[in-house]
Structure 1
């Protein structure tokens, strides 16, 4: 689990650094995760980064039922679930001002990582959807959450993307099922992640190559 742990830590640190000093006008900017503002999306990321603290305080299930790709199955993110997720982010964003929200994100991910470090090898967890999965698999979903939404925040703030190399590796591997990206696409990892998550449009040619490669695009939620 060392790679996933390192990716989660690096991506959270980079996000926290990027958001220190943002002002109220920046926090109220719209994002491509409609209808969230930067403030609301950050609140959502903070909650997602901290989920493991409570999950690891609960009893471990007896066997794993899904992996990280299964967690992002379309059936999990129904319209009612998605609406509740959006409302939660907006509600939580009203609880803290900008600096306090950034500080609370830092507290949340550090607490989650400390909880991870206290676990034995092979620890299982139960997700908010009720699925049982290996801790390392759920940690992969947290890397996706922080990394991909970090791209959204960078776009909203007119910043260069700060996706860290280790996080990009973890996310790209999940998106391709561990397989190689077809050479004819000419994509680096950042382009793959943008295309596979809908942050950039696929051309007809790219879609045909992707379909032939058998990639399984995932559904994303928190």
Structure 2
């Protein structure tokens, strides 16, 4: 199974297993509840479906690491789409409808990814890249948001070890830097993207890399 399919299947399973009351709890995305994050994942899955049916014969202009922009600061929520997400999430009302929608489009995205030609090229956000590179970039997206999903839900299952490892390697490729082996994959992803602050010991292990953190992906 491609790491994209593995990561997103695990993410969909985690959402499916959440009790209704968890949808109203905070997520790891500042200012977003779990329901807001799940609504964002619906849009992510739609983006995957749209991109996979937007082929092009043009040469690739970027690869998986190049898909990401490094932002100077975290999103403020003022972006129109970011601001729309909580309103869309609230409009679902009962969590079962949101749970149904993410399962519907998320499962379709996983299925489409499995059918796509890895060597084919697709266009998205004014970039052209291979399907393989595009799906690799979305392993990082899905794994980070899986960590966001369970940030305050200790009973919910986290991302699989294999996709955490793939996501770590993806972040290191974006950063063009290797994180210390003493940091776990989860710590690298959380600390490296500003989702948590390093402890004194972790900061010491990071050395000069600490000054370059966090990497805000956009």
Q: Please indicate the TM-score interval, normalised by the length of the shorter structure.
A: 0.7 to 0.9
Check conservation: 1:48, 1:142, Cα contact below 8 A. no
Q: How does 1:1-222 map to 2 (within 5 A)?
A: 5=2, 7-74=3-70, 83-96=79-92, 97-127=94-124, 129-159=125-155, 162-177=158-173, 181-183=179-181, 186-202=182-198, 203=200, 204-210=203-209, 218-221=215-218
* CA deviation map 1:174-213 (0-9, x unaligned): 1222875434xx112222212212222134424424369x
Structure 2 residues without counterparts, runs of 5 or longer: none
Once residues 188 and 76 of structure 2 are traced to their aligned partners in structure 1, the CA distance between those partners, rounded to angstroms, is 29
**CA apart distance, 1:59:** 3.5
Check conservation: 1:27, 1:37, Cα contact below 8 A. yes
Once residues 190 and 25 of structure 1 are traced to their aligned partners in structure 2, the CA distance between those partners, rounded to angstroms, is 25
Check conservation: 1:68, 1:137, Cα contact below 8 A. yes
Check conservation: 2:60, 2:129, Cα contact below 8 A. yes
* CA deviation map 1:16-44 (0-9, x unaligned): 33233534432111223122111011110
Once residues 82 and 61 of structure 1 are traced to their aligned partners in structure 2, the CA distance between those partners, rounded to angstroms, is 36
After alignment, is 15-24 or 57-66 more displaced?
A: 15-24
**CA apart distance, 1:11:** 2.4
Q: TM-score, normalised by structure 1?
A: 0.79
Given the superposition, is the C-alpha separation of residues 126 and 216 from structure 1 closer, same or farther in structure 2, using an over 3 Å criterion? farther
Q: SS where residue 132 of structure 1 aligns?
A: strand
Structure 1 residues without counterparts, runs of 5 or longer: none
Residue-pair matches, total = 212
**CA apart distance, 1:76:** 10
